[in-house]
């Protein structure tokens, strides 16, 4: 079971073909800087380039950094506002040259981690958070995805949370790990008070440095762990969403004592 996954971010657009049964990238991922301005036609051209680069004509999944309902973009916090109201599935499908599936970027990463990564076999409430240009979120209740949660836009001290605690802010303000971890902890406590997860998975570009900031977090109820697939989770989850035989539509590995936990992707 193979599919192409393309992960559109506010800074870069990356993709690779994926074995969706194992989550293995079948070729080195390719990355192209996100165009500026990130208008729909310019981003679609990058999708065309990536698809052509891999010579791909099969199942394709594409993530989008915003709310996506039935293929239509309803928000675009880190892309151009011209995306709002556009049929991203139609536009990007034309660019790829074939039908594609489009879903929220953090939702895609969460699907991958719940099936094959750090959330495998977890029931109850699990929250995936991706820290990069912004903060993405994916919420799972007993393995079922609640799509488009967008918890990165919760208000913290009068600002969107991602304007205080994203990886982009850390770099822009030259925050050290302790300073940044304090902001992340404040944000995580706010999210905990709303959805009460028992597990929080941290993904995005910053996850590769989890050993530098996770030990600095304290006072949280939930277990906090790094994404097993690091910053490839979005690519893998996008590919999983595209393939008709994908494990994203099958039950996750069961925990001891579980028999019927089901991981579903809600479109």
Name the residue with tokens 């205080």.
Answer: 164
Rounded CA-CA distance 48/88 in Å is 13
Rounded CA-CA distance 256/254 in Å is 6
Rounded CA-CA distance 96/45 in Å is 9
Task: Please check whether the domain covering 2-104+232-248 is classified as CATH 3.30.70.20.
Answer: no
Please tell me the predicted confidence (pLDDT) of residue 47. Answer: 98
pLDDT class of 243 with cuts at 50, 70, 90: confident
**Kind of pairing between the strands at 223-226 and 199-203:** parallel
pLDDT in tens, 147-172: 999 999 999 999 999 999 999 999 99
Residue 152 backbone class (left: φ over 0; alpha: ψ -120 to 50; beta: rest):
alpha
pTM of the model: 0.89
pLDDT in tens, 47-72: 999 999 999 999 999 999 999 999 99
Token readout for 51 is: 């698809």
The domain ranges of the chain are 2-104+232-248, 108-229
Contact between residue 105 and residue 136 where contact means Cβ atoms under 8 Å apart: yes
Judged against a pLDDT cut of 60, whether residue 250 lies above it is answered with no
pLDDT in tens, 176-225: 999 999 999 999 999 999 999 999 999 988 999 999 999 999 999 999 99
Judged against a pLDDT cut of 70, whether residue 100 lies above it is answered with yes
pLDDT in tens, 8-24: 999 999 999 999 999 99
Architecture of domain 108-229: 2-Layer Sandwich (3.30)
Domains 2-104+232-248 and 108-229 fall in the same CATH topology: yes
């Amino acid at each position: 079971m193979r599919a192409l996954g393309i992960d559109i971010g506010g800074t870069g657009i990356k993709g690779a073909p994926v074995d969706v049964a194992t989550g293995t990238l079948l070729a080195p991922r390719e990355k192209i800087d996100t165009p500026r301005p990130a208008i729909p036609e310019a981003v679609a051209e990058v999708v065309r380039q990536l698809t052509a680069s891999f010579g791909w004509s099969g199942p394709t999944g594409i993530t989008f950094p915003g709310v996506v309902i039935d293929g239509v973009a309803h928000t675009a916090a880190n892309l151009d506002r011209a995306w709002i109201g556009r049929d991203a599935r139609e536009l990007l499908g034309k660019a790829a040259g074939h039908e594609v599936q489009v879903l929220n970027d953090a939702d895609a990463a969460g699907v991958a981690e719940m099936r094959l990564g750090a959330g495998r076999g977890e029931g109850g409430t699990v929250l995936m958070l991706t820290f990069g240009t912004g903060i993405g979120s994916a919420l799972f209740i007993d393995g079922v995805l609640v799509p488009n949660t967008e918890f990165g836009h919760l208000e913290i001290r009068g600002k969107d949370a991602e304007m205080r605690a994203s990886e982009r802010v850390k770099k822009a303000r030259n925050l050290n790990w302790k300073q940044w971890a304090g902001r992340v902890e404040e944000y995580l406590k706010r999210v905990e008070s709303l959805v009460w997860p028992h597990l929080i998975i941290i993904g995005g570009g910053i996850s590769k440095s989890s050993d530098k900031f996770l030990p600095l977090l304290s006072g949280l109820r939930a277990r906090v762990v790094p994404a097993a697939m690091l910053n490839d989770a979005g690519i893998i989850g996008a590919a999983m969403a595209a393939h008709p035989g994908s494990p994203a539509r099958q039950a996750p590995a069961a925990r001891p004592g579980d028999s019927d936990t089901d991981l579903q992707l809600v479109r």
